Amino acid sequence: MTNSSSSSVVPRHVAIVMDGNGRWASKRFMPRVVGHKHGVDALVRTVRACADRGIEYLTVFAFSSENWKRPNDEVSGLMSLVLDTVAKHLAGLAEEGVRILIVGDRSAVSDKVRSAWERAEQATRHNARITLSVAFNYGGRWDVMQACRQALAAGLAPEQLTEEQLGRYMALSHAPDPDLFIRTGGEVRISNFLLWQVAYSELFFTECLWPDFGEAELDAALDDFRRRDRRFGGVQALQAQPAPLTAA
């Protein structure tokens, strides 16, 4: 498939590393957690903008397996923010047809956070306008490992284990692979986000700090995506053939 042949191509699945909250706050001489709060507003804006544009799946990196290394007050600020966000935004998102799913290792989060996630999933389980997968205590390596563990526990023999089979145990088995992977905040790295699933995603990096992200930045990424030529290891799709030159 080549995107350049169709200017109306909208990715089915967009994945975003929402990075730059801390720097956004530091630039304003404010505590980092203020940046995270503004990051939640950017997330709600982006969910709406994606739904309006016909994107079916949005997956966001909210807390990585490695983010526990941060100072205690930042980690606890982020956990409280989960509770505040569910309290403040769940009803609105549910009303707008957003299905919320949490992907990541839930075993390490508090009962309060876990039950807030369960509430969000329950309240939105019949929605179908857009699926928002929130990667929380998520790591790409954890995901591959937990999928292998599940496959082994299911008694799969080595020869039965195919890419497709393993994919069924991955945390994002409910979604196609991301077509477009966006990272805000200027860093050009994956930081252990979706390792298995980004095999053929188009990557887009922007200096924009996450709290500043909105419709204009999303549209810039979507415009760029439209111009990409996705080959999936094949050859470039045939363009319209020029008329043959004929002797005068």
Q: Write out the residues near Mg ion by the rule CB under 5 A.
A: 19
Residue 18 to residue 40: CA distance in whole angstroms: 10
Question: What residues does 98 pair with on adjacent strands?
Answer: 130
Which two structure tokens, joined as six digits, stand for 77? Answer: 């600020």
Provide the minimum distance between the beta carbon of 196 and ligand IPE in the complex, in angstroms, as a whole number.
Answer: 17
> φ, ψ for residue 7 (rounded to 5)?
-80, -5
Region 57-96 residues binding ligand IPE, contact defined as CB under 6 A: 61-64, 67, 78
* Amino acid at site 68: W
Whether residue 100 contacts residue 82, with contact meaning beta carbons closer than 8 Å, is answered with no
CB neighbours (10 Å) of residue 106?
13
Among ligand IPE, Mg ion, none, residue 131 binds (CB under 5-8 Å by kind)? none
* Least gap, CB of 205 to ligand IPE (angstroms): 12
CB of 2 to ligand IPE, least distance (A): 31
Contacts with ligand IPE, 183-222, as mask; x by CB under 6 A: --x-x-x-x-------------------------------
The DSSP 8-state label assigned to residue 121 in this structure reads H
9, 14, 15, 17: which one binds ligand IPE (CB under 6 A): 17
Q: How far is the CB of 148 from Mg ion (least distance, A)?
A: 28
67 is catalytic: yes
Straight-line distance from the first to the last Cα atom of the chain, in angstroms, rounded to the nearest whole number? 37
> Nearer to Mg ion by C-beta: 57 or 204?
204
Residue closer to Mg ion by CB (options 4, 191) is: 191
For ligand IPE (CB under 6 A), the number of binding residues is 17
Q: List own/partner pairs for 225-229 with CB under 8 A and 24 or more apart.
A: 225/3, 225/9, 225/11, 225/179, 225/180, 226/3, 226/4, 226/6, 226/7, 226/9, 227/3, 227/4, 228/3, 228/4, 228/202, 229/2, 229/3, 229/4
Residues 90, 82 contacting (CB under 8 angstroms): no
Catalytic, 19? Answer yes
Member of 4, 10, 12, 23 binding ligand IPE (CB under 6 A): 23
Q: Whole-number minimum distance, CB 185 to Mg ion, in Å?
A: 6
46 binds ligand IPE (CB under 6 A): no
Q: Which residues are known to be catalytic?
A: 19, 67
Report the interface residues with ligand IPE, using CB under 6 A.
17-23, 61-64, 67, 78, 185, 187, 189, 191
